[in-house]
Structure 1
């Protein structure tokens, strides 16, 4: 019985290391990009390519989380009292080298899947994929980590939000259209919002650690205001596409997700302690997930009905 409990705890530690609730930031863009290819362009979906892209994206996301874990420990930003989703090294005694090894292993598997994706679509994607993987490492690794700069939200939004949507679209269509780009913008903005919410929570610790994130540079209250704008822009963008670009009215079902960002902003405005604002981060991540799914579902409903 004791061995079973220890095994369960061990599994939970390794599962926690991947930061599973963040993986939707890679899953949703793949789903959305593939749905756009099916519904807007009328392409027949290659499901092997879809699943290869999905697994590769999630592996890169998990590896990026592990790089973050590794370098936060190396730079002394993580300790036993840190609040957040990391801390596997300081709380559970996992070797930093082991974490780096697993992250590189995930990158290796993603690279093999990338070779298959390129062989089935275009080898031009090899350069794009390698750049994305490099950015995943440089987000917290290297001499000038992106996460420690004011550009974390922008870079993560472009790569994980818009970039993954467009790659998932491209491997099904062998092209990138204006509609695909326009429909990927909210994904870009909301992935950036996830990063901004994380930086708002960690603003005190990051300041002490020497980071220069957007939240630190503009101040906490202004950062919360910018986060509000991220949410507002995402919803208004879809409404604008419906009115101006002729995207189906079914896309407006994304409005059903509005309670999530409202809750997130309310918490950030009323509370400041890292532990107290953790639910706000969860609601921000859920906004990205639910918004993306609802947008894809709206496109699918219109496709199936008409």
Structure 2
């Protein structure tokens, strides 16, 4: 029977800052539009964290029963290691999705019921990433899911429940966060590129090949900083996010330098920290340029 420490490890706590990042930026964009409610921010955070942990457990379950994790070099997995029964891990994933749904329904009730189908799509996308008979994460579409739901939907949804509207800055911030989330996934898939190819998991890294995937990783991060410049047109304080650039150098250098296998675990951590610091600085800029700013 899996220990509490093993369950926490399988939830992949190092990925949680990436779930917090879009909520921060969404709240900052909402504040810049004149709206902020702390309890809505808390509910949005619960949705984001529950979905992140839920998708981690769902991937643990689905990859485990397919045998994808039998030769894994990445973080601990419950099903692949035989530490927990697949059914229990599946129930844990659904429990997280249920918590996200409850918090999301409250937000929909106080803002717009159009959030309900968007939330349902988010949960379905989280499950079918590696679950179901034809998981799209096995066909090179994982980055599309991450960009859409952990970038656009998470940031813009948070902005909307705070302010009831959206802005160019919110869109640009959402794109920047989405690109960094994609970079995080690309680093993850580069780490597993050979084992994934052996078991038929055709991630984008497998389809593109290592050399091109490494260049795409660098381009994704560069695109996030281009988004900062766009936000900076209307909110000059948001250029503070450029101060996170030094944090981008080590992971980009490692990936372009050919880091493989376990060496990419450090890249994952560095990319997650980069996304979080980027989001904090961007949020500070949006708040400084918010209502009443000179």
Q: What do residues 133-169 of structure 1 show as CA deviations (whole Å, max 9, x unaligned)?
A: 1001011111221221222112211111111001001
> After superposition, where does 1:67-146 map in structure 2 within 5 Å?
67-79=58-70, 82-91=72-81, 93-146=83-136
How many Å separate the matches in 1 of 2:289 and 2:109? 32
> For the Cα contact (< 8 Å) 2:128–2:136, is it kept in 1?
yes
Distance verdict in 2 for CA 1:162–1:273, change over 3 Å: same
Q: For residues 194 and 187 of structure 1, what CA distance do their matches in structure 2 show?
A: 11
Query: Which of 42, 45, 49 is residue 58 of structure 1 equivalent to?
Result: 49
Maintained 8 Å contact 1:25/1:161: no
Q: CA deviation at 1:190?
A: 0.8
Counterpart in 2 of 1:291?
A: 278
Q: Which structure 2 residues correspond to residues 1-306 of structure 1 after superposition, within 5 A?
A: 10-39=3-32, 41-43=33-35, 45-79=36-70, 82-91=72-81, 93-242=83-232, 246-303=233-290, 306=294
CA deviation after TM superposition for structure 1 residue 285, in Å: 1.6
**Which of structures 1 and 2 has the bigger CA Rg?**
1
TM-score (norm 2): 0.93
Distance 2:160 2:235 in 1: 21
CA contact (8 A) 1:69 1:86 kept: no
Please give the alpha-carbon distance, in whole angstroms, between the structure 2 residues aligned to 1:54 and 1:91. Answer: 30
**Deviation of the 1:26 alpha carbon:** 1.8
> In the aligned structure 1, how far is the partner of 2:147 from the partner of 2:288?
27
Q: Which has the higher contact order (CA 8 A, sep 6+)?
A: 2
Question: Once the 2 structures are TM-superposed, how far is the Cα of residue 86 of structure 1 from its aligned partner?
Answer: 3.6
Task: Give the 3-state SS of the residue equivalent to 1:215 in structure 2.
Answer: helix
Residue ranges of structure 1 left out of the alignment (5+ in a row): 1-5
Tell me, which stretches of 5 or more residues in structure 2 are unaligned? none
The answer to whether the 8 A contact 2:240-2:285 is kept is yes
1: CA distance, partners of 2:257 / 2:167: 42
Q: 1:70-110: CA deviations, max 9, x gaps?
A: 1111111113x521124223436111111111111111222
1-structure distance, mates of 2:82, 2:246: 36
- Over the aligned positions, Cα root-mean-square deviation in angstroms equals 1.9
